[in-house]
Amino acid sequence: MLTVAKASTEELLGLNKFTVDDEWPHIVVDRAICVTCPEKPCLTICSAGCYKPSSDASGIQFDYAGCLECGTCRVVCRHLGKGGVVQWAYPHATMGVSFRYG
């Protein structure tokens, strides 16, 4: 049994169920625009860790598969509407995250 008080973030995220829509990503990031962003707040703000540092030119790796659908990346992206987070929407019905605890 998982004790919530002692569980790590990774363990708690592991309780959730993700149904990934491989045909329609609900978040689209233009990594070419991310190159121009000096702060890259998405790297630290995403509670699911969907944005990670990389050594390529854009400086980020992104995978929407584990997204918690909170919308924080959309809010903090300084390039919203100009690149960066190009598209943000909730996944189609029956897709996305199903929270299993809390």
pLDDT band with cut points at 50, 70 and 90 for residue 91: confident
Taking all residues of the chain, what is their mean pLDDT, rounded to a whole number? Answer: 78
Q: Which residues are CB-neighbours of 100 under 8 A, at least 6 positions away? A: 15, 16, 17
Indicate the range of 12-21, 33-42, 81-90 predicted with least confidence. 81-90
pLDDT band with cut points at 50, 70 and 90 for residue 83: low
Domains, the chain, with CATH or none: 4-98 (3.30.70.20)
Tokens of 77: 């992206």
pLDDT at position 35: 81
Q: What is the DSSP string of 47-100?
A: TT--EEE-SSTT-EEE-GGG-----HHHHH-TTTTTSEEEEE-PPPTT-EEE--
Q: Are 46 and 101 in contact (CB under 8 A)?
A: no
Q: Average pLDDT in the 90-96 region?
A: 80
Q: Which helix (H) or strand (E) holds 30?
A: strand 27-30
